[in-house]
Structure 1
Amino acid sequence: MRIAVVAQKFGHVGGVATVARWLVDGLRARGLEVDVLELAESRSDVFSRRLTAPQTWRRRTLAGETLELGQQAWGANAVELEVMRYLPRKELTDELNGYDLVQVVCGGPALATVARHVERPVAVQAATRVSWERASILARHSGLERKLRGAMTDAVARLEAPALRRADVAFLENWEMLRYTQSVGQRNAHFAPPGTDVERFFPADQRAGDGPLLSVCRLGEPRKGLENVIRAYGLLATRHATVPDLVLAGRGTLYPVAEQALQNSPVRHRITVLSDVPQDGLPELYRSAGVFVQGSFEEGLGLSSIEAMACGLPVAATATDGSRAAVADGETGYLCELGDADAIADGLSLAIEGCLQRGDELGEAARVRAVEMFSTEACLGNFIRHYETALGSPRGAG
Structure 2
Amino acid sequence: MISVNVIDVIVPNFKRRLSGVTATVVRLAPLQARMIPLAVAAPSMPPDIPQVPLWSLPLMSRRGPSGWRVWHARRNVEMIGGLALRHLLGKRLRLVFTSASQRHHTGLTRWLIRRMDVVIATSEKTAAYLERPARVIRHGIDNTTFSPAADRGAVRARLGLAPDGLLIGCYGRIRAQKGTDLFVEAALRLCAAFPDLRAVVMGRAQPKDAAFLDDLRQRVRAAGMEHRILFRDEVPVWEMPDWYRALDVYVAPQRWEGFGLTPLEAMACGVPVVAADVGAFRELVAEGETGFVVDAGSAERLERAAAELLADPARLDRFRAAARTHVERQFDIHTEAGALVAIYQRLLAEEDA
TM-score range, shorter chain: 0.7 to 0.9
- Is residue 172 of structure 1 aligned with residue 121 of structure 2? yes
2:81 to 94, 101, 114: 114
Indicate if the aligned counterparts of 2:8 and 2:36 stay in contact, CA closer than 8 A. Answer: no
Indicate if the aligned counterparts of 1:235 and 1:345 stay in contact, CA closer than 8 A. Answer: no
- Is residue 226 of structure 1 aligned with residue 163 of structure 2? no
- After the TM superposition, which residues 15-94 of structure 1 pair with which residues of structure 2 at under 5 Å, given as runs? 15-38=20-43, 69=47, 70=51, 72-73=53-54
Partner in structure 1 of residue 8 of structure 2 = 2
Structure 2, unaligned runs of 5 or more: 1-6, 87-91, 154-163
Question: How far apart are 1:113 and its partner, in Å?
Answer: 3.5
- Is residue 392 of structure 1 aligned with residue 349 of structure 2? yes
CA distance in 2, matches of 1:233, 1:314: 16
- Is residue 349 of structure 1 aligned with residue 318 of structure 2? no
- Equivalent pairs: percent with the same residue? 24
Structure 1, unaligned runs of 5 or more: 39-65, 75-90, 133-155
- Is residue 204 of structure 1 aligned with residue 144 of structure 2? no
Indicate if the aligned counterparts of 1:372 and 1:378 stay in contact, CA closer than 8 A. Answer: no
CA distance in 1, matches of 2:235, 2:117: 39
- After the TM superposition, which residues 1-398 of structure 1 pair with which residues of structure 2 at under 5 Å, given as runs? 2-9=8-15, 11-38=16-43, 69=47, 70=51, 72-73=53-54, 98-99=63-64, 100-106=69-75, 111-117=78-84, 118=86, 119-129=92-102, 157-181=106-130, 184-185=131-132, 187=133, 189-205=134-150, 210-219=165-174, 221-238=175-192, 240-242=193-195, 244-251=197-204, 255-265=210-220, 266=223, 267-339=225-297, 344-356=298-310, 357=312, 358-392=315-349
* Range with bigger deviation, 229-238 or 255-264: 255-264
- Rate the CA distance shift 1:255–1:126 in 2: closer, same or farther, 3 A: farther
- Rate the CA distance shift 1:384–1:329 in 2: closer, same or farther, 3 A: same
| 1:155-194 alpha-carbon deviations (Å, 9 max, x no partner) | x82222222222222222222111122xx12x2x122123
Question: How far apart are 1:237 and its partner, in Å?
Answer: 2.7
- Rate the CA distance shift 1:350–1:93 in 2: closer, same or farther, 3 A: farther
Indicate if the aligned counterparts of 2:190 and 2:197 stay in contact, CA closer than 8 A. Answer: no
Indicate if the aligned counterparts of 1:174 and 1:300 stay in contact, CA closer than 8 A. Answer: no
Question: How far apart are 1:273 and its partner, in Å?
Answer: 1.2
Partner in structure 2 of residue 147 of structure 1 = none
Indicate if the aligned counterparts of 1:2 and 1:101 stay in contact, CA closer than 8 A. Answer: yes
Question: How far apart are 1:307 and its partner, in Å?
Answer: 1.0
| 1:18-68 alpha-carbon deviations (Å, 9 max, x no partner) | 011122212113252324145xxxxxxxxxxxxxxxxxxxxxxxxxxx877
Question: How far apart are 1:97 and its partner, in Å?
Answer: 5.4
| 1:278-300 alpha-carbon deviations (Å, 9 max, x no partner) | 33322222111101111112222
What is the number of residues matched between the two proteins? 314
Amino acid corresponding to residue 102 of structure 1 in structure 2: W
Question: How far apart are 1:98 and its partner, in Å?
Answer: 4.9
- Rate the CA distance shift 1:122–1:96 in 2: closer, same or farther, 3 A: farther
